Structure formats: C-alpha cells, structure tokens
Structure 1
C-alpha cells in the first residue's frame, strides 16, 4: 500500500465520520462548498469549460465558467451524499417507473444510467423497491478509497461488480440481478461510434452486448436534482433497435440538455474520435 494512498484516504475517512453526525442537508452543502473550492483551484476546469462551449451548452467561455461552477457544485454534493448514502432518507427522492416494472425485471434486466444528478442515490432507491441490483464500477487506483466508497454502496444493499469481472457479471445475471451500467463515458475499449452533442465519439458497447447475449429487457434510468436536496429518478423502457447504442446515447444527451449543470463535464468525453 502506497503511503500517498493513506494520506489521500485519511482525511476522506475523517470527513465521512463527521458527515454522518450532521444533517444530510448540511452534508450536501459541505459538498457544494468543496466542489466550488476544487473549481477555483482549477482541477479539470479547462476541460469542463471547453466541453460546455463545444457542446453548445454555453455560448462562450464566460458562460462556460458560470455553468462550470454549477457542475462542480453538483459533483461535490453528489460525492458527499455518497459518503453518507446510508443516511439518505426516501423522503428526499421520488421514483417514476413504468407500470409493471418490478414484475418485468424480477428475472434480471440491464439498467443504463449516466453521471447525471445524484446517480449514486438512484441505486439505493431501486434497492428500496426490492430490486436486486448489481452496479458495475471501475476500480479506483487508491484501494483504500475504493473500499470506503464501495462499502457505503454495499451498506444500502447494492452488489458491487468491477468492470474487469465478466464472469461475476455472468453469474449475477444468472442469479436474476439487474445490472446497472453507467454508459455515458468513453472507457477506451469495446466501444461503438456515435454522435454526442453533434460531435463524433465512442460509447460503451457493454449494454448492447449484454442485452443481446442474455436477451434481457433494458431500461434507461436517469437522475435529476431538484432544488439542492431533492431528487427525481425516471425509469423508462428502451426499444431494442439495430442502432441501440446510438439510441441510448441520444436519450442521455436529451436528459443532459435539460439539466446541463448536473452532468460530469470534466470527463474527456471526446478524446477519441471515430
């Protein structure tokens, strides 16, 4: 274990212990402050502003800076809310689901989502509806932080599977779990060329591969933050089409356009072009 990893983990562990003893609203506000701080010191700030302008969400760099601040506030809130996920009460969120959803997914499903709103809380909301949920995540380079975050997810009833564990994904599908996939980023392999905000890029092929291989129903699950502390999670079925990856990418874009300040624009989404 690298000593630098312990230095990074220790303050986060302390923050988590403190946050668990204050109100959820105050924890969220602390996250917003932290987000603004990281925005001021410039971590991925240039990437965020460039992406906002290039996608047409901001008319120029000045507008991009204003919207970028909102982006970082939401990211800060979401991360701090993740640290106390077990404390978040169902009173702060509403789930909009199609009729018969629970019956449809009882034998498993593919749930496609994005880094929008508080996507972490949506997992807890689904588990509370007695949905067997396994979320596919990437390993953090800092294993201590990785464990801290995943233990919080597990405390809410989610099963954790890493994206480099295909055999475990197959086993969980066989056990009728719903597989949650964040599919709005370019992870560099197993991708499909798409257009996103009018620019060519790549989208993950995983959802389409799993859908076709296991003949599972597919749903789009997207989060939206309302007035700082409340959340709406909208779930809708996706039609199985020949251009499925392009379809779900377009759905994600539509949702982001409605709430551009709630998406993770700091990702280098268009770094690779078809």
Structure 2
C-alpha cells in the first residue's frame, strides 16, 4: 500500500513538472531567463525559503558589509539559483558546440593533470551554474559525477538521463557500501575525471576546517580518493559573467605526503576551503548560501 501511494505521489509531482517544462521550452532562452529573474524576486519577497538563514550567514561571513548590501547579495543568491534552473531546463535544446563555447577556462592545469595518466579528481562547488560547469567540461574531457538519488524516482530518471545524454557519466552516492568508491577508482584508472561536490556540510563524519573564520564540516571523500589513486586533484569554480557566459576558475591542490592519512586529508580540505572562500568573497551572490554549511559545527557547539 505504501509503495502504491509513493508511486501515485511521484506521478502527481512528475506530470505537472513535465507539462511546465514543455511550455518553458517553447520560449526563447533569453525570455526564460527574464522569467527566472522575476520568479527569484517573487520567491525572495513572498516565499522566502531559508531567507533568514541566508541573511544570517552572509552577515556573519561579511561583518564589514552593511545590511543593505547583505540584502542585495541575498536577493542575487535567489537569482543565481533560478538562473541555474533555467540552464538545466534548456540543456536538451543546446547543441554541444554552443555548450562548449559557453565556458572559458585555462586548460593548462587540466591538460598537465591528465598527462600523468592516473585520472583527475575534481572538487567543484555550488557556484554559479554548477551543472553548466560539469556539462561544459564534459565536452573536452571524460567526466564522472557523483550524484545523490532523488526521492522521486521519475524525477531522478529524468534528471540523470538528461545529464548522461549530454556527456556525463553518473556515479550514485550509495552510502555505507564500497560501490561508489570502487566505481570512482575504476574511472580514474581509465584516466577519466571524477567530480565530487565538496562544499556541503558533511555531518559528524566530516572533517572540520576553517571557512570564513568558522569551523565547518567538510567531506573527506574527494581527498581520500585522490590519495588512494595518487592522482592530481583540482578545484573548479564556475563563475557566471554578466553576458551570460561562464568562466571556470581552476586551482591545483598539491597532493601531500606527510605519512599520516588524516593529516593529508586535512591539508587537502583546508587548501580547498581557502580556495573556495577566496572565490566566494569575490562573488558572494554566486554561492549556494541556502546550504546549512555550519550546521554540524553549531550542533557540536550547542
């Protein structure tokens, strides 16, 4: 009975979504983006999902900014998120060449990393249009992205088929099993890249590193994978430009060898955290502040 109700609920959520997407895709991209901006403002003022949380964390992270500036950044955080949604919706309509040309980046670090033949671990973040960053990267290099299975199986299938059809390979995050780690290692052995979003709160099993002057729990997975494979590890941050294009900032993260695995993971995670903080300080409106980045730290402290 419970399974039947779950299926009914899945279709009740999925069918209206497909109808909405059908009509949105009839619009020009530029017009859809304008609608996205309007919806962002509407949600900011009338359906303020985690608005208080976003403003609180921005205030703590940027004490030098006025409340007016904080509120402007918060409003633009909503616009960035809705812009990312529009990007994802229109993936299926965009030819590969256009997708590739929408992202610019210095390929030297990437090329040198792949030249070592051991694969590459990518550490992106929820910056700008993170889906766009991975999609554009896939036009130059093979990429496997770790994804979380959505509760709605129909939506999960639609989203992940869209990704795979445009060049991704999905690796599901299956917790408490070695399958995800094994699949990631296999991809690295083929000299492919594995992308692991690493900027979310990782709970009590994460590692606390400084972020905006406060300890934040960070996932160990990307660092542990790179150390196991002894492959290059690179942070990648996609920054949306005013003209709609994306610029991907790429930073090498040296692979430490202190003889202590926990210390090596700490060094990698701290380096990544510093790199992420630097780019967020320059583009605060483009990071996904809806995340409860300091949730575990606040629980431990409380």
TM-score (norm 1): 0.91
Which has the larger helix fraction? Answer: 2
Which residue is equivalent to 1:218? 233
- Whole-Å Cα distance in 2 between the matches of residues 29 and 57 of structure 1? 32
The higher-RCO structure (CA 8 Å, 6+ apart) is: 1
Which of 140, 143, 147 is residue 133 of structure 1 equivalent to?
Answer: 143
Residues 91 and 26 (structure 1 numbering): CA distance in 2 closer, same or farther, change over 3 Å? Answer: farther
Greater CA radius of gyration, 1 or 2? Answer: 2
* Per-residue deviation, 1:52: 0.8
Is the 1:201–1:269 contact (alpha carbons within 8 Å) kept by the matching residues of 2?
Answer: yes
Q: Distance in 1 between matches of 2:53 and 2:144?
A: 31
Gaps of at least 5 residues in structure 1 are none
**Which residue in 2 is equivalent to 1:196?**
211
Query: Could you give the per-residue CA deviations for residues 247-274 of structure 1, whole angstroms, max 9, x where no partner exists?
Result: 0111011011110001100111101116
Q: Is the Cα–Cα contact under 8 Å of residues 204 and 217 in structure 2 kept in the other structure?
A: no
Give the structure 2 partner of residue 161 of structure 1.
171
Matched, 1:247 2:253: no
Unaligned 5+ runs, structure 2: 1-5, 175-179, 257-263
Aligned-residue offset at 1:60: 4.9
Q: TM-score, normalised by structure 2?
A: 0.83
CA shift, 1:62, in A, is 4.0
Which among 30, 45, 58 is matched to residue 25 of structure 1? Answer: 30
Distance 1:58 1:105, change over 3 A: farther
Say which SS state the counterpart of residue 295 (structure 2) adopts: coil
Match of 1:78 in 2: 84
Q: What CA RMSD, in Å, does the superposition of the two structures yield over aligned residues?
A: 2.1
Q: Which residue of the other structure, out of 16, 23, 29, is the alignment partner of 2:21?
A: 16
**1:223-244: per-residue Cα shift (whole Å, max 9, x none)?**
0001152111122322123411
List, as ranges, runs of 4+ consecutive aligned residues in structure 1 with deviation greater than 6 Å.
Answer: none
What's 2:259 paired with?
none
Q: Per-residue deviation at 1:58?
A: 7.0
Q: How far off its partner does 1:9 sit?
A: 2.3
| Contact 1:68 1:261 (C-alpha < 8 Å) held by counterparts | yes
Deviation at 1:34, TM superposition (A): 2.6
Contact 2:113 2:232 in 1 (8 A): no
Helix, strand or coil at the partner of 2:52:
helix
State the partner residue of 2:288: 264
Give the 3 Å change call, closer, same or farther, for CA 210–103 of structure 1 in structure 2.
closer
* Structure 2 residue 12 is the aligned partner of structure 1 residue 7: yes
**Separation of aligned partners in 2, 1:124 and 1:133:** 9
**Aligned-partner Cα distance in 2 for 1:194–1:225:** 27
Q: CA deviation at 1:48?
A: 0.9
Q: How many residues align?
A: 273
1:181 aligns with 2:187: no
Q: Distance in 2 between matches of 1:91 and 1:63?
A: 33
Measured after TM superposition, the shift of residue 37 of structure 1 is 2.6
- Counterpart of 2:133 in structure 1 is 122
- Cα distance in 2 between the residues matched to 1:64 and 1:110: 34
Contact 2:226/2:232 (8 A) holds in 1: yes
